[in-house]
Amino acid sequence: MTTDLTRLTASALHDLFERGEVSCREITSAHLETIRAHDARYGAYLHVLGEGALQAADEVDRRRLAGEEMGALSGVPVALKDVIVLEGVPATAGSRILEGWIAPYTATAALRLMGGGSPVLGKTNCDEFAMGSSTETSAYFPTRNPRDPERVPGGSSGGSAAAVAAFEAPVALGSETGGSVRQPAAFCGVVGLKPTYGRVSRYGLVAFSSSMDQIGPLGRTVEDTARLLAVIAGRDAHDMTSSPAPVGDYLAELDRSVAGVRFALPDAFLDHAGPALREATENAARALEAAGAQRVEIDLPSLEFALAVYHIVSRAEASSNLARFDGVRYGPGAPADDLLDLYLESRGRGFGREVKRRIMLGTYVLSEGYYDAFYMKAQRVRSLIAEDFERAFRTADVILTPTTPDTAFRLGEKIDDPMAMYAQDIMTLPANLAGIPALSVPVGTSRGLPVGVQVMGRPFEEGLLFRTGRLLETLSGEDRADA
- Looking at the annotation, which residues are catalytic? 81, 156, 180
Measured from the CB atom, is 55 or 241 closer to other proteins?
241
* 192 in Cβ contact with 182 (< 8 Å): yes
Q: How far is the CB of 311 from other proteins (least distance, A)?
A: 6
Measured from the CB atom, is 355 or 453 closer to other proteins?
355
CA 215 to each of CA 20, 185, 192, 229, 232: distance values in angstroms, whole numbers, following the listed order: 31, 14, 11, 10, 9
Please name the amino acid found at residue 47. Answer: H
Measured from the CB atom, is 107 or 293 closer to other proteins?
107
Question: What secondary structure letter does DSSP report for 23?
Answer: -
Residues 383, 362: Cα–Cα separation, whole Å:
19
Q: How far is the CB of 340 from other proteins (least distance, A)?
A: 6
Q: How many residues does the chain have?
A: 483
Please name the amino acid found at residue 415. Answer: I
Residues 39, 37: Cα–Cα separation, whole Å:
6
Q: How far is the CB of 312 from other proteins (least distance, A)?
A: 6
Q: How far is the CB of 146 from other proteins (least distance, A)?
A: 28
Q: How far is the CB of 134 from other proteins (least distance, A)?
A: 17
Measured from the CB atom, is 22 or 456 closer to other proteins?
456
Written as one string, the DSSP assignment of 248-307 is P-HHHHHTS--TT-EEE--HHHHTTS-HHHHHHHHHHHHHHHHTT-EEE----GGGGGHH
Measured from the CB atom, is 16 or 172 closer to other proteins?
172
Q: How far is the CB of 91 from other proteins (least distance, A)?
A: 7
Q: How far is the CB of 263 from other proteins (least distance, A)?
A: 25
Question: What secondary structure letter does DSSP report for 331?
Answer: S
Q: How far is the CB of 382 from other proteins (least distance, A)?
A: 7
Q: How far is the CB of 99 from other proteins (least distance, A)?
A: 11
Written as one string, the DSSP assignment of 183-201 is HHHHHHT-EEEEPPTTSB-
For residue 390, the surrounding DSSP H or E stretch is: helix 377-395
Q: Which residues pair with 205 in a beta bridge?
A: 84
Measured from the CB atom, is 9 or 242 closer to other proteins?
242
Residues 112, 78: Cα–Cα separation, whole Å:
12
Q: Of 448, 428, 447, 431, which Cα lies nearest the Cα of 133?
A: 428
Check whether the bond before 23 is cis (ω within 30° of 0). no
What's the first-to-final CA gap in the chain, in angstroms? 18
Measured from the CB atom, is 12 or 423 closer to other proteins?
423
Please give the backbone phi and psi of residue 180, each rounded to the nearest 5 degrees, phi first.
-70, -5
Measured from the CB atom, is 254 or 336 closer to other proteins?
336
Q: Which residues pair with 457 in a beta bridge?
A: 398
Q: Which residues pair with 264 in a beta bridge?
A: 296, 399
Residues 238, 244: Cα–Cα separation, whole Å:
12
Q: Which residues pair with 233 in a beta bridge?
A: 200
Measured from the CB atom, is 192 or 327 closer to other proteins?
327
Residues 42, 53: Cα–Cα separation, whole Å:
21
